[in-house]
Structure formats: structure tokens, C-alpha cells
């Protein structure tokens, strides 16, 4: 019979299926080969984000009601289906359908996987080690992206479609891993609750302003790093003028940097109090866009390495801040609220970047994004800092 400690390795496999990405750097190029311009790609990506926005919070609450395992299984099936549709599509409608399937699948997995990991560690009396394990998971994912990008580049030399066919096969790995997970006992008791989303959100966020601002700020950082990942292929194509295979190697270098720092996140977390770390990460993420939009190629590469170093630290540390202040019964819901806001940020900004990029070039789009993010981060951090100086409300 499967044991609960085996959940950790199965979560690693689910992450592996999601993060061994043979396609990520090449999606804009693949769509370009099929007649989709920058604004068209930005529109499709924003629609995918809109699907996630619609599904993200309900899917997290669904995980709190029916169990993390069931939502992870459904999400794994939809992930494989999405890449299968991608691999056989040649038009806007096909790509849109693929992104919708991937968006729903991603919303079912995000939040549920981190909640499953946290609850598993709690059942093993290792709750305090969450940031260490989350850092390892993210480091594994970044290492797999490091491997996947050049492998996809090799496949893309023959045909830009081959990485997407191979990605559909990779996505299948998550299905048996999800099917054999063991539901933690604490969560099984939670499933006796009735499905009533809004009271749960009120209890977990609206009455705890400190937690709310942690979630919002973490989501703003996540929105920035996700937007940067979508932006790099266009920047690389316009500024470096290199091949798809070289883009894959560059992508690998960035993710290897993120992997190293994710693995060390639990050590770094001990050295910074939350306000200092949050201010630093906001400055680096917002400044990274400005650097990419204004600096020559070598300076921009150095800025990207710093950006990805901080990206590797940000996710496990900020998630641990949230988990430490969230009760078990609404953990997946709260983490899903975070992802919901990540995609709200992306869906609001990236289409505007696509329009600016088509008119004035991608450097201008990156500069516009950098100014926007720095302004938003400054406002959000100011609110968080003021709240942190007050006694939390009961």
C-alpha cells in the first residue's frame, strides 16, 4: 500500500511533467510560423490567463472540499490533452483551444500541489521544513527546464512542431503519479464541509489584512516573473538575433541559475525579515524589465541572471510566508487566490505589451512593463509595511 511519505516523490513527478518544458521558449516562434503576430500571441496568452482567473479560486476551493488528489488527477489529464491539441493545431482557434485546456488543468494543479506537499510534511511532523522542500521542488523544476529547453531546441531544428508532440508525451507522466497519491488525514476531515466558497475566503483573507497583503504582494511578484518568462523569447529574437537552439541554451542558463537559488532558499530566508526581502525582490523584478529594455545585450544578460536568481528565491520563501499564516482547511484556496492574482496581473499587462511591441519594438514594451511593475510594487509594499507595524486584527 502506498505510504504518505511517498507523496513527496510523486509531487516531484507531477512537477517534472509540468516543468520538463520542451516548448516554453518556442511558443511565440511556433505561433509566428503559423501566422500569429506579437499582439495575437499576447491576446491568446491573455485569454489563457483569463481561463485560469475564472477557474483558479474555485479549483483551489474544490481541492479543499473533494481532496487535493482528485483535483491533481483531473489537472494532469487536462495538461496532457492540452499539449496533444497544441501538437496538431495550425490556426488561432486550435492554439486557443489548447491554451484553454492547459489553463484549466494548470488551475487545478496550482495550489493543490503545494497544499498537498505542506499537508504531507505536516503529517510527517516536518511542517517547519516546508520552505526547504518547496525550494527543492522549484529547483528540480528549474533544472528540468534547463534540460528541456535545449532538448526542445534540438527537436525544433527538424520542425518547430516536434517539441510540442514530445511535450504531450512528457505530460502523461503526471497522471499515474497523481492517481497514486495518498490524501493526508487532516485534509480528509475538511472534506465534510459544504461547498461554500465565499465564507471561506472571508475567514481566510478579508479578516486578516496581513495575510491578504502577503498574498497580493506575492502574486504581484509572481505576475512579474511570469510576464518576464513570456517576454524573453521576443527580446532574445530582437536583441541577440540567434537561432532557436541558442535560445534554448540561454533559457537553460537562466533556469539553472534559478534552480541553484531555489535550492538555497531556506538558508536565505533565515537571513532576511519579510519586509526587507519583499522590498528587495520587488526592486529586482521591476528593475529587471527596465534593464532588459534599455541596456545593451551583455548588460541585459547580467540583469537577467540577477532576475532569475531572485526568482528562484521568491517562490519558496513567499509561499512559506503565506503557508505559515494560513490554516489547513483553506490552504489550497488561499494559494489559489495567489495564482488567480498572478494571472490577473499578467492578463492586464501582457496584451498592452504586445500592442506596444508591435508598434515600437519589444524594448519599449519591456520599459513600459518595468515602470508599471515598479509603481505597483512600491504601492503594495507601502501598504504591507504600514499593516505590519500594526497589531493584527482578531
Q: pLDDT digit string (tens) for 314-347?
A: 888 888 888 777 776 667 677 778 888 888 898 8
pLDDT of residue 188: 43
Residue 393 lies in a domain: no
What angle, rounded to 10 degrees, do the helices at 209-239 and 297-324 form?
A: 160
pLDDT of residue 191: 46
pLDDT of residue 148: 83
Asked if 384 contacts 213 with a C-beta cutoff of 8 angstroms, the reply is yes
277-310 burial, b at 16+ Cβ within 10 Å, e below that, comes to: bbbebbebbbbbbbbbbebeeeebbebbeebbbb
pLDDT of residue 154: 87
Residue 100 lies in a domain: yes
Residue 183's domain spans which residues? 4-388
Indicate which CATH number applies to the domain containing 379: 1.20.1250.20
Ramachandran class of 296: left when φ > 0, alpha when ψ lies in -120 to 50, beta otherwise? beta
Helical residues (DSSP H) of the chain, grouped into ranges: 7-19, 27-33, 38-66, 68-87, 92-109, 112-123, 130-158, 162-171, 174-179, 185-190, 197-201, 209-239, 244-263, 265-269, 274-294, 297-324, 331-360, 362-388
pLDDT of residue 204: 58
Residue 16 lies in a domain: yes
Q: Which residues contact residue 327 at a Cβ distance below 8 angstroms, ignoring those fewer than 6 apart?
A: 204
Cα–Cα distance measured from residue 247 to residue 245, given in angstroms and rounded to the nearest whole number: 5
pLDDT of residue 200: 58
Residue 394 lies in a domain: no
Model confidence pLDDT, tens digit, residues 14-73 = 888 888 888 878 888 888 888 888 888 888 888 888 887 788 777 777 777 788 888 999
Residue 80 lies in a domain: yes
Regions in the chain scoring below 70 on pLDDT: 1-2, 185-208, 328-330, 332, 390-394
Residue 350 lies in a domain: yes
Cα–Cα distance measured from residue 177 to residue 182, given in angstroms and rounded to the nearest whole number: 10
pLDDT of residue 12: 85
pLDDT of residue 236: 87
- The total number of structural domains in the chain stands at 1
Cα–Cα distance measured from residue 155 to residue 163, given in angstroms and rounded to the nearest whole number: 6
Residue 367 lies in a domain: yes
Amino acid at each position: 500500500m502506498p505510504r504518505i511519505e511517498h507523496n513527496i516523490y510523486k509531487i516531484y513527478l507531477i512537477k517534472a511533467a509540468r516543468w520538463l518544458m520542451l516548448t516554453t521558449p518556442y511558443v511565440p516562434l511556433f505561433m509566428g510560423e503559423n501566422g500569429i503576430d506579437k499582439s495575437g500571441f499576447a491576446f491568446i496568452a491573455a485569454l489563457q490567463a483569463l481561463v485560469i482567473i475564472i477557474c483558479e479560486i474555485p479549483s483551489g476551493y474544490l481541492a479543499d472540499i473533494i481532496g487535493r488528489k482528485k483535483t491533481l488527477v483531473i489537472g494532469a489529464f487536462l495538461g496532457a490533452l492540452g499539449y496533444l491539441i497544441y501538437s496538431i493545431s495550425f490556426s488561432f482557434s486550435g492554439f486557443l483551444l489548447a491554451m484553454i485546456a492547459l489553463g484549466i488543468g494548470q488551475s487545478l494543479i496550482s495550489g493543490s500541489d503545494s497544499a498537498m506537499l505542506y499537508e504531507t510534511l505536516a503529517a510527517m511532523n516536518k511542517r517547519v521544513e516546508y520552505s526547504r522542500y518547496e525550494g527543492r521542488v522549484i529547483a528540480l523544476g528549474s533544472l528540468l527546464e534547463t534540460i528541456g529547453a535545449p532538448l526542445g531546441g534540438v527537436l525544433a531544428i527538424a520542425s518547430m512542431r516536434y517539441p510540442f508532440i514530445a511535450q504531450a508525451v512528457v505530460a502523461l507522466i503526471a497522471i499515474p503519479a497523481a492517481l497514486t497519491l495518498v490524501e493526508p488525514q487532516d485534509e480528509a476531515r475538511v472534506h465534510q464541509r459544504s461547498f461554500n466558497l465565499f465564507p471561506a475566503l472571508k475567514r481566510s483573507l478579508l479578516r486578516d489584512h496581513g495575510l491578504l497583503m502577503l498574498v497580493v504582494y506575492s502574486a504581484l511578484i509572481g505576475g512579474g516573473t511570469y510576464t518576464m518568462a513570456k517576454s524573453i523569447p521576443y527580446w532574445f529574437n530582437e536583441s541577440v538575433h540567434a537561432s532557436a537552439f541558442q535560445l534554448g541554451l540561454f533559457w537553460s542558463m537562466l533556469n539553472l541559475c534559478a534552480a541553484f537559488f531555489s535550492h538555497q532558499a531556506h538558508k536565505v530566508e533565515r537571513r532576511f525579515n519579510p519586509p526587507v526581502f519583499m522590498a528587495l525582490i520587488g526592486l529586482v523584478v521591476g528593475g529587471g524589465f527596465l534593464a532588459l529594455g534599455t541596456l545593451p545585450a551583455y548588460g541585459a544578460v547580467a540583469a537577467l541572471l540577477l532576475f532569475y536568481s531572485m526568482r528562484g528565491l521568491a517562490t519558496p520563501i513567499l509561499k512559506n510566508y503565506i503557508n505559515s499564516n494560513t490554516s489547513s482547511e483553506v490552504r489550497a484556496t488561499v494559494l489559489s487566490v495567489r495564482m488567480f492574482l498572478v494571472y490577473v496581473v499578467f492578463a492586464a499587462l501582457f496584451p498592452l505589451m504586445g500592442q506596444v511591441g508591435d508598434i515600437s519594438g519589444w524594448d519599449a514594451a519591456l520599459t513600459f512593463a518595468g515602470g508599471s511593475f515598479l509603481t505597483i510594487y512600491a504601492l503594495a509594499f507601502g501598504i504591507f509595511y504600514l499593516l505590519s507595524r500594526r497589531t493584527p486584527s482578531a
